[in-house]
């Protein structure tokens, strides 16, 4: 019971250091001096100029002048909530991580949902990929799954990320369009990036029009590693499955909602929780060995590929419940700094080249976004367990470290001057044997860009295909440069000729090569062909 009480206290602890405010509190400046008049500045005579000695006016305006911080370079528009994660099945056979082995324990979480392209003040419901970032405040340090609501990504290598983002964001000369991918630069980049085709199929499907936050799935996307007590590694992919099921808006609804209530999804989450409700997901894993992976015709290190659930079913091992709204949007939702490098002992990364680049980017960006090297001491970013290291000083340092020893090895702090004083039992990297030439080249196993895009198309119902065709028709009709549209039609042709010809028709282009040939031997029903043939622009 004590443990339970402790857990509950911890759940409440996360970023819950609100300033007490009661009616008897006096209004003060930032140094605690009581203020008698906050409505009139100090003047030389009632109609005279303001005096520079008015330190109360100056402090108030000075603070106001500096209230803004940069928004996130991507995923700027987001909404978050607190809650907990509860493990229902232990993965002790695969990992030593307590968060994945202690069944029944409630681990506090903070989860932030976001769009990718729009700015902080943009709308909730454009056609866009959604960020799905979960921080677990575990006893062994913070663990972040910084994922999306789509199981694959646009590019295979982090070095292309700045180009992808420059292409998708509003065009730099006129800052249009806001929060939308329907423009030339995005499709120009995509048409020259065949590896994006699988992701583009998901992006043009109803998946990028989620109805609510808790009607969308979440994915860790990359292949990660779990490490057991003997040091053995198993590959893992992470999945969030909404208890309410997956539901989307249709395009027309989505556009109208954007006009009527830009905060549609944010408001729905807030009100649900405010009225005592919860948002819930099951947490699942796909576990597979390196030997399994070697047999498949795609590379599990390639983030543009899924591991089909027919090959490795998703095993549900826990659930996440979001049940507490933040007290302050800025201090929690805005100041949380996720990073994919937040993993705990018993976990590790894989060599996915996109993930490898991400291990650098998040720490780096937060140095500026959150104002210096001590951003990890902000309440929402602090781990539950104590932090102990010799890092010191820097802008906005909050911790007061006593004593004269801030180095290692040291004998003056009363401890023994051993080589690794506090390192035992901590994180160790998986000792994967490495060899190879230093080279800038992708593996041959990353080269099929159309197979899983076609698999996705084949998995859709006729109505879903119709929506996908219409989305492409809409998006590409906004592209002014003809050769970009034509290049995209050529890619669609490789995915499925019927898809290509439907989109071509709406764009006034010649029908693509063959409306009847079916790549991979897949046959569409006559009913489906008729349905697509009536799809309008
Ligand atoms: C932010 C997901 C690839 C750099 C985010 C966020 C999510 C996310 C969910 C928002 C986090 C939040 O709510 O605060 C992903 C996924 C990726 C991916 C799923 C691919 C599988 C990349 C790559 C880079 C990158 C390749 C750079 C090399 C960033 C940066 C931010 C960000 C700089 C802003 C972070 C901040 O200011 O706090 N990403 N991302 N991402 N991502 Fe990624």
| The pLDDT of residue 509 | 94
DSSP notation for 369-398? HTTSTTGGGSTTT--SSPP--S----TT--
Q: How far apart are CA 294 and CA 313, in angstroms?
A: 18
48, two tokens: 């005279």
Active-site annotation holds for 385: no
What's the pLDDT at 180?
Answer: 82
Distance 361 CA to ligand 1 centre (A): 8
Residue 154: predicted pLDDT:
98
For residue range 5-55, what is the model confidence (pLDDT) as tens digits? 455 455 556 655 555 555 557 899 999 999 999 999 999 999 999 999 999
CA atoms within 13 A on the CB side of 501: 15
- Cβ atoms within 10 Å, residue 378: 19
What does the radius of gyration of the chain's CA atoms come to, in whole angstroms?
Answer: 26
For residue 421, what are its two tokens?
A: 């004083």
What's the CA gap between 344 and 454, in Å, rounded? 37
Choice from 111, 129, 146 to test ligand 1 binding pocket (greatest atom count within 8 A of CB)? 146
Determine the Cα–Cα distance for residues 283 and 290; give it in Å rounded to an integer: 23
CA-nearest residue for atom 7, ligand 1, is: 131
Looking at 142, 148, 342, 381, which residue is catalytic? 148
> Is 374 an annotated catalytic residue?
no
Instruction: Give every CB contact of residue 203 below 8 A, 6+ residues apart in sequence.
Output: 127, 129, 150, 181
ipTM here: 0.96
Of 70, 71, 72, 303, which is best to mutate to test ligand 1, by the most ligand atoms within 8 angstroms of its C-beta?
72
Tell how far the Cα of 521 is from the centroid of ligand 1, in angstroms: 38
Ligand 1 atom with the shortest distance to the CA of 357:
28
Report the C-alpha dihedral over residues 395, 398, 401, 402, rounded to 10 degrees.
Answer: 110
pLDDT at 511: 82
Instruction: Determine which residue's CA is closest to atom 9 belonging to ligand 1.
Output: 131
| Residue-level pLDDT at 523 | 37
Query: 74 C-alpha to center of ligand 1: Å?
Result: 7
Residue 142 exposure: Cα atoms within 13 Å on the Cβ side = 26
Which residue, judged by its Cα, is nearest atom 42 of ligand 1? 74
Among the options 75, 82, 239, 449, which is catalytic? 75
Instruction: In whole angstroms, give the CA distance from residue 477 to residue 184.
Output: 10
Whether residue 234 has its Cβ less than 6 Å from ligand 1: no
The pLDDT of residue 512 is 78
Q: Give the predicted TM-score (pTM) of the model.
A: 0.93
> What is the per-residue pLDDT for 120?
97
State whether the beta carbon of 359 lies less than 6 angstroms from ligand 1. no
Residues of the chain with pLDDT under 70: 1-24, 415-424, 513-537
Q: Is 135 left (phi over 0), alpha (psi -120 to 50) or beta?
A: beta
pLDDT of residue 528: 45
């Amino acid at each position: 019971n004590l443990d339970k009480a402790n857990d509950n206290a911890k759940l409440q602890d996360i970023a819950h250091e609100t300033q007490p405010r009661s009616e008897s509190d006096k209004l003060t400046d930032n140094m605690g001096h009581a203020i008698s008049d906050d409505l009139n500045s100090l003047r030389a005579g009632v109609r005279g100029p303001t005096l520079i000695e008015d330190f109360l006016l100056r402090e108030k305006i000075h603070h106001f002048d500096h209230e803004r911080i940069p928004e996130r370079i991507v995923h700027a528009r987001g909404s978050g909530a607190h809650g907990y994660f509860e493990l229902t099945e232990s993965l002790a056979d695969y990992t030593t991580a307590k968060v994945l082995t202690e069944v029944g324990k409630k681990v506090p979480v903070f989860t932030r949902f976001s769009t990718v392209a729009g700015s902080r003040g943009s709308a909730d419901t454009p056609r866009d990929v959604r960020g799905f970032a979960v921080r677990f405040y575990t006893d062994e340090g913070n663990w972040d799954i910084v994922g999306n609501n789509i199981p694959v990504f646009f590019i295979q290598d982090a070095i292309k990320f700045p180009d992808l983002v420059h292409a998708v964001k509003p065009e730099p000369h006129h800052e249009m369009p806001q929060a939308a991918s329907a423009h030339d630069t995005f499709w120009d980049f995509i048409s020259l990036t065949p590896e994006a085709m699988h992701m583009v199929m998901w992006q043009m499907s109803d998946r990028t029009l989620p109805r609510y936050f808790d009607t969308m799935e979440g994915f860790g996307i990359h292949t990660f590693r779990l490490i057991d007590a003997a040091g053995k590694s198993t590959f893992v992919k992470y999945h969030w499955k909404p208890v309410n099921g997956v539901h989307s808006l249709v395009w027309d609804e989505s556009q109208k909602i954007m006009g009527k209530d830009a905060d549609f999804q944010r408001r729905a989450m807030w009100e649900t929780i405010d009225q005592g409700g919860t948002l819930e997901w099951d947490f699942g894993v796909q576990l597979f060995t390196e030997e399994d992976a070697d047999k498949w015709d795609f590379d599990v290190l390639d983030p543009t590929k899924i591991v089909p659930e027919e090959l490795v079913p998703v095993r549900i091992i826990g659930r996440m419940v979001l049940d507490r709204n933040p007290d302050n949007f800025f201090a929690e939702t805005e100041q949380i700094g996720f990073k994919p490098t937040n993993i705990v002992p018993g976990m590790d990364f894989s060599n996915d080249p996109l993930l490898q680049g991400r291990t650098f980017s998040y720490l780096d960006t937060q140095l500026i976004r959150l104002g210096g090297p001590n951003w990890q001491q902000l309440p929402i970013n602090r781990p539950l367990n104590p932090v102990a290291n010799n890092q010191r000083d820097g802008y906005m340092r909050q911790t007061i470290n006593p004593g004269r020893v801030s180095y290692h090895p040291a004998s003056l702090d009363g401890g023994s001057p051993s080589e690794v004083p506090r390192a035992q039992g901590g994180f160790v990297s998986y000792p994967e044997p490495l060899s190879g030439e230093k080279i800038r080249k992708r593996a041959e196993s990353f080269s099929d860009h159309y197979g899983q895009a076609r698999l996705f198309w084949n998995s859709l119902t006729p109505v879903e295909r119709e929506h996908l065709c219409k989305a492409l028709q809409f998006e590409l009709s906004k592209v002014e440069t003809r050769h970009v549209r034509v290049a995209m039609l050529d890619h669609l042709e490789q995915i499925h000729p019927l898809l290509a010809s439907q989109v071509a028709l709406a764009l006034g282009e010649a029908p693509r090569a063959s409306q009847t040939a079916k790549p991979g031997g897949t046959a569409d029903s006559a009913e489906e062909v008729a349905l697509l043939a009536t799809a309008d622009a």
